[in-house]
C-alpha cells in the first residue's frame, strides 16, 4: 500500500502536537486524547471502498445573504470544516437581496441559501423568497431563513406564509444545530413543492 501525506488545516491543536516532537518510527508517540489529528494524515493511494477521497468530493454550495459582514464571517468560520455526507462546504456571499438576486441568476448551482430577512427593507428577504419561488422559477432552491428580527412577521408566521424550507433565529444558532438543520435540508427531499403564495 502506497501512502501519501495530505496536509490538514493549521490549528492550535496541531501546533501543540508539533511541539511535542511527534516522530515516525516503530514506536510513535500517541496523540493526546483531546486532539483529533496531527499535521498530516495518511490516505491510501487507491481507496479500498471505491469511494473518492474526501478532498475530491464536490462541495455543497451555500449562499449567505446578509447585510451584516460579521454574520458572513461567523458563518464561514463556523462551517468551514464541517461536512455533510462527507462533502465540504463552499461559500458565496451577497450583502443585500438585490446582490443575491443577481448572484442566483448568474450561479449555475447553489445547494442552499442562508437568507436574512431585514436588509435593504424590513422584509427584503421575504420579498426575495416570493420572487425566487414565483417569477424567477427557482422552486428547486432550498432556502433557510436566518433572522434576528423577521421584519413585520413573527417567527411562526414566516414558516406558515412563505415557501421556505426552514427558519432559525440567529440568537439560537449553535454549530450542532446549524449542522443538523443544514444537513436535513441538503440530504432531504427537494423543495419543488414550493410555489409563490
More confident of the two residues 50 and 110 = 110
Task: Say whether pLDDT at 185 is over 50.
Answer: yes
The confidence score (pLDDT) of residue 134 equals 93
The confidence score (pLDDT) of residue 53 equals 58
The confidence score (pLDDT) of residue 112 equals 97
The confidence score (pLDDT) of residue 189 equals 54
- The predicted model scores a pTM of 0.68
Residue 13 and residue 52 in contact, taking contact as beta carbons nearer than 8 Å: no
Q: Cell digits for 116?
A: 436574512
First to last CA, the chain: 58
Portion of the chain with pLDDT greater than 90, in percent: 52
Structural domain spans, the chain? 12-54, 58-187
More confident of the two residues 90 and 2 = 90
The confidence score (pLDDT) of residue 61 equals 97
pLDDT tens across 56-107, in order? Answer: 789 999 999 999 999 999 999 999 999 999 999 999 999 999 999 999 999 8
The confidence score (pLDDT) of residue 108 equals 73
Instruction: Share the mean pLDDT of the chain.
Output: 75
Helix/strand/coil (H, E, C) string of the chain?
CCEEEEECCCCHHHHHHHHCCCCCCCCCCCCCCCCCCCCEEEEECCCCCCCCCHHHCCCEEEEEECCCHHHHHHHHHHHCCCCECCECEEEEEECCHHHHHHHHHHCCCCCEEEECCCCCCCCHHHHHHHHHHCCCCCCCCEEEEEECCCCCCCHHHHHHHCCCCEEEEHHHCCHHHHHHHHHHHHHCCCCCCCCCC
pLDDT tens across 138-183, in order? Answer: 999 999 999 877 555 666 678 788 999 998 888 888 999 999 999 9
Superfamily of domain 58-187: Response regulator (3.40.50.2300)
Amino acid at each position: 500500500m502506497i501512502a501519501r501525506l495530505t496536509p490538514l488545516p493549521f490549528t492550535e491543536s496541531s501546533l501543540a502536537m508539533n511541539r511535542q516532537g511527534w516522530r515516525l518510527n516503530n514506536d510513535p508517540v500517541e496523540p493526546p486524547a483531546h486532539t483529533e489529528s496531527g499535521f498530516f494524515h495518511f490516505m491510501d493511494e487507491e481507496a479500498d471502498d471505491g469511494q473518492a477521497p474526501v478532498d475530491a468530493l464536490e462541495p455543497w454550495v451555500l449562499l449567505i445573504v446578509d447585510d451584516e459582514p460579521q454574520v458572513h464571517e461567523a458563518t464561514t468560520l463556523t462551517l468551514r470544516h464541517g461536512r455533510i455526507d462527507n462533502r465540504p462546504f463552499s461559500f458565496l456571499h451577497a450583502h443585500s437581496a438585490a446582490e443575491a438576486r443577481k448572484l442566483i441568476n448568474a450561479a449555475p448551482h447553489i445547494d442552499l441559501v442562508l437568507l436574512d430577512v431585514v436588509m435593504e427593507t424590513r422584509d427584503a428577504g421575504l420579498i426575495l423568497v416570493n420572487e425566487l419561488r414565483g417569477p424567477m422559477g427557482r422552486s428547486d432552491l432550498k432556502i433557510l431563513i436566518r433572522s434576528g428580527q423577521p421584519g413585520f412577521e413573527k417567527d411562526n408566521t414566516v414558516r406558515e406564509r412563505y415557501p421556505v424550507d426552514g427558519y432559525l433565529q440567529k440568537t439560537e444558532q449553535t454549530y450542532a444545530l446549524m449542522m443538523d438543520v443544514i444537513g436535513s435540508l441538503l440530504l432531504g427531499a427537494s423543495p419543488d413543492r414550493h410555489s409563490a403564495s
